Amino acid sequence: MLSQVRVIDIDPLLNGRDSERVAEEIGHACRECGFFYVVGHGVQADLQQQLETLSREFFAQPLDAKMKIRMELAGAAWRGYFPVGQELTSGKPDRKEGIYFGAELPHDHPLVTAGTPLHGPNLFPENLPAFRSVLLTYLDEMTRLGHTLMTGIALSLGLEGSYFFERYTADPIVLFRIFNYPPELTAGSPEPSWGVGEHTDYGLLTILKQDNVGGLEVKSQGQWIPAPPIPDSFICNIGDMLDRMTAGEYRSTPHRVHNVATRNRLSFPFFFDPNWQARIKPIALPGDRAAAGDREERWDQANVHDFDGTYGDYVLAKIAKVFPHLFRVTL
């Protein structure tokens, strides 16, 4: 049984040397449990610290101040703040609050004027003027890292490094969330209060920055194992669409969060996903590696391999279950 998540130094991949070895490590991790840490990623520590400091300042404010950038104000773009209990996982309220961001698009962008969900300008707290520039710089850095990691994933599958860029991610959907998990208030209760319950991610790749509190758990071979924070690392996991493309060779792994600490926990998941209009198709794997497909019952009694459509179709159906009240109001 796997006892810990693999740590991979991707500096060689970033600098164009020994890429095949790094890709092999990524491939092992994706087949092993669908999660891996990356170090040597090139994202500056001071930028990460600025983001964390500003986020703590934001969440420390009274609720009425945070609600000035509430999600209802962003319409179908689904950007902005939501309070504890408003986001659902498997129909149950999560014990977390958060802010949603995405690629910064002006109001006159064609996708925005067309009312395309998940596309539009972000909402930023006016009383934290540095937030906008730090956040947008961080988004640029994470988008760069997403392209690099998808190159490594392509190579790990025996494909050209540009495979995903040419077909799905030249203009990716990038979604970024900042979550604040309050401390557990029901110590000793037989039923934990989950920050976020068991779930898989929707798209291709998630790149997560954690603070030093911990609480993330990964389900591997039927057992839950901790994925604690490692200094100057990101933890990555593959999502449903990569599971779909590889016919289950790379599986989207269930995970959950339980903040057992006595203080707030911050996490910063960045989702690097296919273009909205991209039609998701199985990959013709090189050689004789025809994956059998993941036909086992999943955590949500659904099967990603039954899906046929665009990525926009898939993610829209998922978000309708996460924020049902917003879905009804904005569409």
Query: pLDDT tens, 110-126?
Result: 999 999 999 999 999 99
Helices 19-32 and 131-156, packing angle to 10 deg: 90
pLDDT value of position 297? 53
Question: What is the mean predicted confidence (pLDDT) over 119-145?
Answer: 98
CA pair distance 315, 311, nearest whole angstrom: 6
Name the token pair of 56.
């703590």
In sequence order, what DSSP letters do the residues of 225-276 get, joined into one string? EE----TT-EEEEE-HHHHHHTTTSSPPPPEEE---SSS-EEEEEEEEE--T
Classified as helix, coil or strand, 323 is coil
Question: What is the mean predicted confidence (pLDDT) over 60-80?
Answer: 95
Average pLDDT, the chain: 89
Q: Which helix (H) or strand (E) segment is 177 a member of?
A: strand 173-181
Q: Which residue has better confidence, 129 or 183?
A: 129
pTM, entire model:
0.92
Using the 8-state DSSP alphabet, how is residue 161 labeled? Answer: T
CATH topology for 7-52+86-100+139-309? Jelly Rolls (2.60.120)
